[in-house]
A = this chain, B = another copy of it.
Amino acid sequence: MLNVYLSGEIHTDWREQIISGCGEGAFKFTSAITDHEASDAAGDVLGKENNGFWRDHKSAKVNAMRTKNLIEQCDIAIIRFGDKYKQWNAAFDAGYCAALGTPYITLHSEDIIHPLKEVDAAAHAWATSPQQVVELLNYIAGDL
Could you tell me the distance in whole angstroms from the C-beta of A63 to the nearest C-beta in chain B?
7
Chain A, interface size category, equals 35 or more
Copies in the complex: 8
Q: Is A103's CB under 8 angstroms from B65's CB? A: yes
Given the complex, which residues of B lie within 8 Å of A85, measured CB to CB? 115
Say if the beta carbon of A6 comes within 8 Å of chain B. no
Tell which of B33, B58, B99, B125 touches A95, judged by Cβ atoms closer than 8 Å: B99
Q: Which of B46, B92, B119, B132 is close to A125, meaning CB atoms less than 8 Å apart?
A: B46
Q: Does any Cβ of B come within 8 Å of A26's Cβ?
A: no
A87-144 contacts to B (CB < 8 Å): 87-101, 103, 105, 110, 112-122, 124-128, 132, 135-136, 139-142, 144
